[in-house]
A and B are shown apart, each in its own frame.
Chain A
């Protein structure tokens, strides 16, 4: 055991990747499962706030952009669940934990989307914050996660630019559109800052996660970086971020900003946000309503296997493998990604 542990420590120390078959401490494994599952759940729950606007998108081009984006999120969820599966858990088990409230997802998705401007602001601020959080994770010490993050970050950056471009267009539109944008920015700014998690002095696991190189920067460092990136973008857009304390501090070389309402973050994380019940409810309904479909696919696969070999054993094995018809088109105009990068 000591040899294995030493090997693990050396892998981390030399900035090499830990791979699924390598020995790893149980704490590391459990932390990675929690981190990846939480991220996968966030992608899937994150389809809902914007997905609600697909059928109502105000132009066909915006409809296509939004539909492709929400589809990307389902794809991200898929390969993140696959990355988690390399650690010995399975997707069905993680999905149950999500709908039973035993695993979390990003609290940002518990806020409602009240107008089409929210679609743009989510792209700009929420995806922007996610990118700040996730780019360093492309260097996570856990190989399958790091590799999945490279692709996810690339796609997130398209989403971020699409969101910002929608807002620029709306700001150049009617006064009513400009006020929708301002209202959405006011509502999403503070929750976006909360996406980086509690302040460093209240984040007990940060030190260990940094030592394991599954976290590369502290919450406050990432939050500061996000604020510094966003302020000039807000100026270019012509909106005011809702924080009277926000100003450039030449001495620090960073923007100062106001105190975050941590009690709100706690409340939303613990289940008492505006949309927690709705988000989990929709996910649970999809899972439960789809159970007969998944069972049918497994039953058909078992029958087909039995017909092929004439052996009932083969049927049993096929049944547990399930049957999923993830289809990838020829890519003509759409993103169909069912595969895992892990």
Chain B
């Protein structure tokens, strides 16, 4: 497209040299013009057929789970725009949000293609109701302060990296391709978050307290990450999905390493004196989520005891998040964007 209609411009101004700023800057068709949006199809050349013996509906449901995780986590990071503690952090948080948004788009598109509904990424993102979202609740809880955000991001990225690492060998070529690309991105997200957990944990007395509180706040949401949905379990056995339960050990080891560097106590350990050195991580099992976090947002099919984000049971925070995310799209039925 000749974007700015530059060919209609009147003759260059008398000074000539750079009479047309746009033309001077846009020689040729720079592929970056839609920067971060990818004109190049990242799945070009990848076989998109559903692998033999795999239940298409289950594969679609699984793509939604991983796609929704990324979409909702990205949204929470987008909320930091113009609020970050330093400009470098503005850039980094937006970068991470963009990576996750890119992953979400590929996974939602795959879900809609595989389930035969023909729903595209936007239909899935903007036209589903909260109970149809399959993300873990860790992704949806509201942002707290910067320490809460880094705690959540460390947990999320460490978990997701362990999953994507395994998924890179998936029998589904699309999931394998998405995971191979995502591993590089999420490895950076984890390093970024770990760097800040260490800085805040080993920073001032105040930052140490904030960091410990941030970790404590997200910790009840950790067990859900490692509780496989039946579809995940079946797909994992078929060599398509990554079984989250199998990723726990790697997750615990990484967290222990970061917490040691940050001189922080393990959030699952009983709270005690904050003195540095008192923070040997207790490598105990998952703690029990506090009861209110297990409560779904509304009574209904998803409200059975023990239902999780993967079943469509969410905290009330997801309602507000989606109301914002979907507001413009839903206000304009039939619109083109």
Contacts and interface: CB of A to CB of B under 8 A. Distances in A.
Interface in B193-214: 195-196, 198-200, 202-204, 206-207, 210
Contacts of A253: 10-11
Interface string B103-127: 0110010000000000001100110
A74 B91 contact: yes
Interface stretch (B31-39, B224-232, B250-258): B31-39
B53 interface: no
Interface in A233-286: 233, 235-237, 248, 253-254, 282-283, 285-286
B25 A157 contact: yes
B21 interface: yes
Contacts of A337: 91
Contacts of A286: 82-85
Contacts of B332: 58, 173-174, 176-177
A334 B78 contact: no
A173 B30 CA distance: 27
Contact of A299 (B20, B101, B188, B204): B204
A62 to B, nearest CB: 5
A332 B191 CA distance: 16
Given A160-B4, A164-B3, A228-B13, A324 B203 contact: no
A174 B88 contact: no
A227 B281 CA distance: 65
Contacts of B90: 47, 71, 74
Interface string A57-75: 1111111110111111011
B328 interface: yes
B91 to A, nearest CB: 5
Nearest to B321: A55
A145 to B, nearest CB: 17
Contacts of B337: 58-59, 61-62, 116, 166, 169-170, 173
Contacts of A342: none
B312 to A, nearest CB: 21
A67 B97 contact: yes
Interface residues of B, number: 86
Given A116-B328, A293-B146, A74 B36 contact: no
Secondary structure of the A side of the interface?
Answer: helix
Contact of B82 (A153, A282, A336): A282
Nearest to A124: B4
Question: Could you say which of B87, B89, B198 has the most chain A C-beta atoms within 10 Å of its C-beta?
Answer: B87
Q: Which of B81, B125, B145 neighbours the largest number of chain A CB atoms within 10 Å of its CB?
A: B81
Contacts of A47: 81-82, 90
Contacts of B146: 290, 293
Contacts of A68: 35-37, 94, 98
A97 interface: no
A40 to B, nearest CB: 9
A172 to B, nearest CB: 6
A324 B36 contact: no
Given A55-B79, A326-B92, 15 more contacts: A56-B325, A60-B125, A64-B98, A160-B22, A161-B22, A164-B4, A170-B335, A173-B332, A299-B207, A300-B202, A323-B199, A324-B86, A325-B195, A325-B199, A329-B188
Which 9 residue pairs across A and B have the least CB separation, nearest first?
A290-B85, A296-B203, A68-B36, A326-B88, A296-B207, A232-B8, A161-B3, A71-B94, A293-B85
